[in-house]
Chain A
C-alpha cells in the first residue's frame, strides 16, 4: 500500500459518531457545581480578608490613640494587613473596592432587601455571579428568610429584591438526614463542623426514554448546604430524589 492509498483509507474510514447524553449531563452538573463552589469559596475568602482588615484597622486606631503609643506595632499591623489583603485579591483595594465586596455591602444595606427580609437581621451574604456590572446576591436572614437581590454596581442600587424559594421543612429535614448519613459529612460533623445554610438547587437534564427513545427535559429539586469548621467551608449537594450526597467540595 502506498501513501496515497493509506491516506484514502484514513479519509474514507467510517468514524464513530457517538454521543453519551448521560455522561454529558453528569459531567455538566459536576463541572458547574465545582465552579459554583469555587466561586463561593472565593467570596468566603474575601469576607475573611475583609474582617481581618477591619480588625487590623481597629488595632491601628487603638495604637494611635493609646496613652502609651504603640505606633510601631500599629504600623506593622497595618502594613501586614494591607499586604495580606493585596496578596489575597490581587491588590484592587489599593485602587478601589472589589465588586464582590461592593455588591455584598450594597445588598445588605438596601432598604428593599430589608423589607423583603421582613425586618429580620442579615446573617449571610453570598455573591452568586457578577456580569456586566450586575451582581446576583443571596441574602439570608437570621430567621432563615432568603432574598435574591440584583445589584447594579454602576449605579450602586439594588434593582430587584425577591424573596427566594426555599425548601419545605420536610425537604430540609430529608436533606440533613441524607447528608448526615454520608461518611464524609459524618466525619466533618464529628469534627465539629456546623451546617449553616440549606438551600434548594434546581438541576435540569435530558432523560432518554429507553422504550421510545424520546428525550425529555426534567428538572429536579435537590438541596445544597454549606458546612463550616473553623475557617474552612464545605459545599454539599444532596440529590433528594435518589437520597444521596452527590458532592462534598472543600
Chain B
C-alpha cells in the first residue's frame, strides 16, 4: 500500500523525478490508480482508459521538467493532462493518434495475462449498470459539462480543485456545473 504524501513530500518527490527515473516511478505508482480511475469514469471503456492513461503519463514524463510549483497540487496537473488527452480522444485529433501509436508500440509485450485481465475488467465494468446509464447520458453533453460533472460527483473534487485542473475560475466551474446538471436532468427524464 502506498503512503499518502503531504504537499512537501510530494514537492520533493516531483523535484527529484525531474532528474531521476526511479523517483518518476514512485510518482507513477502514487498516481496511476487515480488517473486510470478518472479516465475510466470519463470513457467507460477499459481499452480506451488503458490507451488514454498511457498517453497521459507519457505526456507527463515528457513535460515534467516544465512543471513549476504554483500552489497547485501535482495531482491537479496530472488530471489536467489526462483531461486534455480525453478531449483529444473524443475529438480524434491527429496528435493523439500518432502519439498513441508510439506508446502502443513501446508497450507491445503480447502478454496473454494482460489480455485476460482486460477482458475480466471489461466484464466487471459491465456489472455497474447504474454508472453506465449515467455515463451514457453524461457522454451526450458537451465536453466542458462532462468534465465538471465527473470531477465533482465521481472524483469527489471540490470546486476550487476542479478550477485548478481545468484552468478555470471557481465561479465559472460553479456555473458550468449548474448548467451541466440542468442539461443532464433533461436527458435523464
A contact residues vs B (CB 8 Å cutoff): 1-3, 6-7, 9-11, 13-24, 26-28, 30-36, 39, 129-131, 207-208, 210, 239, 242, 244, 246-247, 249
**A3-B181, A26-B111, A129-B19 known; A18 vs B61 contact (CB < 8 Å):** no
Question: Is A208's CB under 8 angstroms from B25's CB?
Answer: no
Partner of B109, one of A7, A18, A239: A239
12 extra A-B contacts, CB within 8 A, seeds A6-B181, A27-B107, A30-B107? A9-B130, A10-B149, A14-B128, A16-B41, A16-B128, A20-B46, A23-B114, A26-B109, A28-B32, A35-B61, A208-B117, A246-B108
A39 to chain B, nearest CB (A): 7
> What CA separation (Å) do A21 and B25 show in the bound complex?
15
Question: Is B117's CB under 8 angstroms from A10's CB?
Answer: no
**Number of residues of chain B lying within 8 A (CB) of chain A:** 52
Question: Is A246's CB under 8 angstroms from B185's CB?
Answer: no
> What CA separation (Å) do A82 and B17 show in the bound complex?
30
> What CA separation (Å) do A18 and B188 show in the bound complex?
26
Question: Is A36's CB under 8 angstroms from B21's CB?
Answer: yes
Residues of A close to B54: CB separation below 8 A: 23, 27, 30
> What CA separation (Å) do A246 and B110 show in the bound complex?
10
Interface residue B90 (Cβ < 8 Å from any Cβ of A) = no
B contact residues vs A (CB 8 Å cutoff): 16, 19-25, 28-29, 32-33, 36-37, 40-41, 46, 50, 53-54, 57-58, 61, 103, 105-111, 113-114, 116-118, 121, 124-125, 128, 130-131, 134, 149, 153-154, 181-182, 184-185, 188-189
Residues of A close to B110: CB separation below 8 A: 242, 244
**A15-B128, A35-B21 known; A20 vs B109 contact (CB < 8 Å):** no
Question: Is B181's CB under 8 angstroms from A129's CB?
Answer: no
Question: Is A16's CB under 8 angstroms from B131's CB?
Answer: yes
> What CA separation (Å) do A6 and B182 show in the bound complex?
9
A138 to chain B, nearest CB (A): 14
Residues of B close to A244: CB separation below 8 A: 110
Q: Main SS of the interface on chain B?
A: helix
Residues of A close to B153: CB separation below 8 A: 7, 10-11
> What CA separation (Å) do A27 and B111 show in the bound complex?
12
Partner of B124, one of A11, A13, A16, A21: A16
> What CA separation (Å) do A31 and B103 show in the bound complex?
9
Question: Is B19's CB under 8 angstroms from A130's CB?
Answer: yes
Partner of B40, one of A16, A27, A246, A247: A16
Question: Is A21's CB under 8 angstroms from B19's CB?
Answer: no
Residues of B close to A23: CB separation below 8 A: 36, 50, 53-54, 114, 117-118
A22 to chain B, nearest CB (A): 3
Question: Is A129's CB under 8 angstroms from B184's CB?
Answer: no
Complex A-B: 30 CB contacts under 8 Å:
A2-B185, A3-B182, A6-B181, A6-B185, A13-B130, A13-B131, A13-B154, A14-B130, A15-B131, A16-B41, A18-B46, A20-B117, A20-B121, A21-B117, A22-B117, A23-B53, A23-B114, A28-B29, A30-B103, A30-B107, A31-B58, A31-B61, A34-B58, A129-B19, A131-B16, A207-B113, A208-B117, A246-B108, A247-B106, A249-B106
Residue of B with least CB distance to A207: B113
Partner of B189, one of A1, A11, A27: A1
**A23-B50, A32-B25 known; A18 vs B32 contact (CB < 8 Å):** no
